[in-house]
Chains A and B, each alone.
Chain A
Amino acid sequence: MLRLQNLKKQYKTGDLALKGVDLEVPDGQIMALIGPSGAGKSTLIRCINRLVEPTGGKVFLNELELSNLGAGALRRARRRMGMIFQEYALVERLSVMENVLSGRLGYVGFWRSYLRKYPQSDVDEAFRLLGRVGLDHMVDKRADELSGGQRQRVGICRALAQDPELLLVDEPTASLDPKTSRQIMRLICELCKERKLSAIINIHDVMLAQMFAERIVGLKLGEIVYDGPPDGLTSDVLTEIYGEEDWEATIRKVDEDENGESEGEADGHLAPILDRDRMAGAT
């Protein structure tokens, strides 16, 4: 379980990005964090694994307080939190396999990682994960040769290779087309279910958030303004979060999309992956 207590972040420029956030995410819950740009979504996620140092408040991961750990303990704590990034953040000049194995960096020593001599169990796990997301035929391709959706799959494998308890997901679909966005979100959620992970998914697409998350938290100017189930997102709530706009269209579209979802997915090389996804969903 992840618990944030009065989490605050003030940047050196004086901008107050988080104004004392209290939040609990129980094990196995998939939570979407929505809000306009600049609401502090990214900062919140990064304050949890301290890629950004919070300026006040506490973060607990299963009773371990993260906010005052020393460098070594922080590294060990980071292994327990996988992170998935907006622009994939793969090391572009390394191969797919090296990127996935880099998720194990917190577990292996320097020379092992430098010489790429990972334990066979790590390599097995990496192959299994790549097989699960349908990329096992691209193991030795360089990351910059992949398409956006493929890169994000590798990013997911890297996060899962850490064998985390919690996934921190930062705008996973922002650089993807709508269809790939769905596939990626579905993949993330399925994997979380399989491994009983909790996840904080920071996303600006309200529709996607409603489709995939069990719980939605709305953030506005560093404060939580909504915390509840996806169908509680009424037009009034969205206005509260994002400001005045005609929200009826957005809400209605979600329903339509849910019906029309499985259409037109027969094209090209993505089809087998989708079949696997369905298979996985069925088992």
Chain B
Amino acid sequence: MIWAGYLTVGMIFVYCWNLVSETTIWMFVWDAHNQAVDLGERMVPPKWDYMSKLWWPIWDTLNIATLGTVLALIMAVPVAFFAARNTTPSTVILRPIALFIIVASRSINSLIWALMLVTILGPGVFAGIIAIGLRSIGFCAKLLYEAIEEIDEQQVEAIRATGASGPQILVYGVVPQILPAFAGISVFRWDINIRESTVLGLVGAGGIGLQLNASITNLAWTQVSLILLVIIATVVLSEWVSAKVRHAII
């Protein structure tokens, strides 16, 4: 049984490999190490004084990630309550719609969202914020609705027994139980969004990706290496912040 599994995976792999190698120009591939050395030489040393032009894009990148996360959270909360089996007002209509929103938002990469929004809203930070927001709804709503489904029903029952109304049951019985999960999810997604927003500029949706794209098209490799260093620094910093905050919450 296990061997049959391995065999199938192996066969699929070989088949796919053949298809890929047909469309590959192997000459380029064999030449890749020379290219790499060449590129490496052209990238050092990073052009440090270019930094002065990067502060503004970094600020934009940060804003795209943060405002996008805030936007996503605002929209994800109702979606999560509609999607959770124990809080949805209607299992027949609203729950499937909420689940579809979650899947659609999660299946489509933020870069594709950005691509769409740039054609619709025009290039700029605004499209980036919306793209990050739309991409993150699914992620946040999914984790949140799983948290809602895991709450202790007895606490909710006790609040219901006092004669509380529907909204009061949510605020007293459900919300306190999912608040820690909510905070954790926000910080976690913010961290991911910092990473995602560094590339949105490639399709024109603002942030440091714009400079990266421009530098690559102009073959300004010393600028590219500086931008890459900046991206690493930002990502490491945001990871550190999010780990700190999550630690403080839990």
Contact = CB atoms under 8 A, between A and B. Distances in A.
B168 A89 contact: no
Contact of B165 (A75, A83, A85, A91): A75
B160 interface: yes
Contact of A89 (B157, B165, B171, B179): B157
Contact of B160 (A51, A87, A93, A168): A51
Contacts of B172: 91, 94, 98, 102, 105, 113
A78 B171 contact: no
Interface in A143-178: 155, 158, 162, 168
Contact of A77 (B155, B163, B164): B163
B163, B176, B180: most-surrounded residue (chain A CB, <10 A)? B163
A93 B181 CA distance: 13
B158 interface: yes
B173 interface: yes
Given A91-B177, A93-B176, A110 B167 contact: yes
Interface string B226-237: 000000000000
Interface in A73-113: 75-79, 81-83, 85, 87, 89-94, 98, 102-107, 110, 113
Contacts of A158: 158, 162
B161 interface: yes
Interface in B149-202: 152, 154-155, 157-165, 167-168, 171-173, 176-177, 179-180
Given A94-B176, A113-B171, A114-B171, A49 B159 contact: no
Given A113-B168, A113-B171, A105 B159 contact: yes
A76, A105, A107: most-surrounded residue (chain B CB, <10 A)? A105
Contact of A103 (B162, B165, B167, B173): B162
A75 B177 CA distance: 23
Contacts of A81: 161
A78 B158 contact: no
By secondary structure, the B interface counts as helix
A49 B159 CA distance: 12
Interface string B133-155: 00000000000000000001011
A102 B163 contact: no
Contacts of A168: 161
A102 B176 contact: no
A75 B173 contact: no
Interface string B37-70: 0000000000000000000000000000000000
A106 B162 contact: yes
A27 to B, nearest CB: 20
Given A83-B158, A105-B172, A110-B168, A93 B163 contact: no
A82 B159 CA distance: 11
A277 B65 CA distance: 58
A155 B159 CA distance: 11
B91 to A, nearest CB: 15
Nearest to B163: A106
A78 B163 contact: yes
A112 to B, nearest CB: 10
Contacts of B162: 78-79, 82-83, 102-106, 158, 162
Given A77-B163, A91-B176, A85 B168 contact: no
Nearest to A79: B163
A107, A113, A162: most-surrounded residue (chain B CB, <10 A)? A113
The 9 closest A-B pairs by CB, nearest first: A106-B163, A78-B163, A89-B158, A105-B164, A79-B163, A93-B176, A83-B161, A89-B154, A75-B163
Given A82-B162, A107-B163, A158-B162, 13 more contacts: A75-B163, A76-B163, A83-B158, A89-B158, A91-B155, A91-B159, A91-B172, A91-B176, A103-B162, A110-B165, A114-B168, A158-B158, A162-B163
28 contacts: A51-B157, A51-B161, A77-B163, A78-B162, A83-B158, A83-B161, A87-B154, A90-B158, A91-B159, A91-B172, A91-B173, A92-B152, A93-B180, A94-B172, A94-B176, A102-B159, A102-B164, A105-B164, A105-B165, A105-B168, A106-B162, A107-B163, A110-B165, A110-B168, A110-B171, A113-B168, A114-B171, A162-B162
